[in-house]
Homo-oligomer: A and B are copies of this chain.
Amino acid sequence: MAMGEPAADGLTEKCGVVGMSLDEEDAALPLYYGLYALQHRGQESAGIVTHDGFQQHSHVEMGLVGDAFDEADVESLKGSSGIGHVRYPTAGSVDTSCAQPFTVSFKGGALGLSHNGNLVNAAEVRDDLANKGHAFTSDGDTEVIAHDLARNLLEEDLVRAVKRTMERVHGSYALTITHDDTVLGVRDPEGNRPLCIGRLDDGHVIASESAAIDTLGGELVRDVKPGELVVLHEDGGGFDSYQLKDPEHTAHCFFEYVYFARPDSVIDEELVYEVRRELGRKLWAEAGADTDVVMPVPDSGRAFASGYADAAQEDDADVEFAEGLMKNRYVGRTFIMPTQEARERAVRLKLNPIRSTVEGKTVTLIDDSIVRGTTSDQLVELLYDAGAEEVHVRIGAPKILAPCYMGINMATREELIGANRSTEEICEHIGADSLSYLSVDAITEAVGKSGDDLCLGCVTGEYPYDIDGEMTDRDVERPVVRPEPVDAD
């Protein structure tokens, strides 16, 4: 554990980024479609910045992509190169000044910047820049990166300026950047957040997930490498690569596979859907329950439950896969819940059991994670109320026992039900007949990466970055951490 380092500060952000250089066509409409494909990564705000060779154009608004842009907005964004961003709704009040892409019109031209991730030394860098006279309009990490880069660009060429900024900022970042009409992609040396390159009919694209490339009818070329700067050619015909930092180990976020990314995306060479199915199979192998039916929590548990049911059937277990919970897709954020009783009713509004698949049956309920435990609690009760004989809960990931500092706004340590409770206690808390999590080993196997190359901080409590007050897994002996289950149930 590294003392003396400043803690992770600023807003935690979980976002989607995209960038594009086309031959002749305007980039705004494809960027807009790309953002649509990444909408699951952020629903708070959406923005696009383009450059027409002479000047920069920008449109950023609160809300979903479809609400933030109308046809005139897209049309006004001239130019064949540009970047886009969708931003995650964080808890509490929303600061519009944090909507992205962030733009700077400075003496060295125009800069646009889209960021997914979280710096651990943003406060320090910000203080330095403020001392040099920089005025900040937001308290986000992105403005810090943008000002540092703009400052470097007044003194260095593009590649060196980026390198200098990469040496200055620490933490997780997947960036798409425009400097005038040049489009860049940058991934932090640990490769924490995903970023990949695609080829289109008339250009190239950089995006958080490959599903955005599919949506544009393009082809995935490869992932951006940890520590790599990619510079798209202005005519869309290709890209140059600069390996600006060489990591010893990477720290890919395993939670992208489990929870956050689209199932149809390929991240660091693995198809997310298949990873989830494989996790489901391993869940059967490690902790299969002999019940009449197995059902997913929709939609998050579906791929896991499908793999689980397949593995069960291969074992000739008589476990029927069924949709036992109907999801109300219209329950949104603005839901009114004035009383405690109303809050308890909330889960009934979101999920209603289909009685015929539950009544008089023993049930295995599959989900991807338990964060605060409140929903699981209510789901188990819901199934009993609908006549389930037994309810066994199986989770397709290890127990979350520590917060994320790398850009997922998960929960505080106090809120995390897994931080201070054994699996037995959690099982009792949610009222299930049994509860099992997946092992950490199952994750590394299913993802096909060594534990040394993954960020498993939230399920091990050991982080690949220096977080004030937290252990760094780079400082501890590896063998201790991974081979054995972190908490034996």
A residues lining the B interface (CB < 8 Å): 29, 32-33, 36-37, 39-40, 43, 52-57, 64-67, 69-71, 74, 76, 78-79, 97, 103-107, 109-110, 133-135, 137, 147, 150, 180, 211, 214-217, 262-264, 271, 273-274, 302-303, 306, 321-323, 326, 328-336, 338, 342, 345, 348-349, 352-357
Contact = CB atoms under 8 A, between A and B. Distances in A.
9 contacts: A55-B106, A66-B334, A66-B335, A78-B137, A103-B105, A105-B110, A106-B110, A216-B345, A263-B326
A36 B32 CA distance: 31
A259 to B, nearest CB: 15
Given A33-B349, A215-B352, A133 B54 contact: yes
B215 A79 contact: no
A103 B55 CA distance: 10
Nearest to A271: B356
Contacts of A54: 104, 106-107, 133-135, 147, 150
Contact of A330 (B66, B76, B263, B353): B66
Contacts of A264: 326, 352-355
B107 A354 contact: no
Given A135-B54, A354-B271, A36 B349 contact: yes
Give how many copies assemble into the complex.
4
Contact of A323 (B37, B66, B302, B328): B302
Contacts of A303: 323
A67 B348 contact: no
Contacts of A322: 306
A302 B216 CA distance: 26
A36 B180 CA distance: 35
A348 B215 contact: yes
Given A29-B342, A336-B29, A55 B150 contact: yes
A357 B263 CA distance: 12
Contact of A52 (B110, B135, B338, B356): B135
A215 B349 contact: yes
A436 B321 CA distance: 26
Contacts of A40: 328-330
A71 B339 CA distance: 11
Contact of A356 (B76, B214, B274): B274
A147 B74 CA distance: 21
A214 B274 CA distance: 35
Nearest to A310: B320
B273 A330 contact: no
Given A110-B106, A273-B323, A354-B273, A79 B135 contact: yes
B338 A29 contact: yes
B349 A37 contact: yes
Identify the interface centre among A55, A323, A328, A356: most chain B CB within 10 Å of its CB: A55
A105 B78 CA distance: 13
A64 B217 contact: no
Nearest to A309: B321
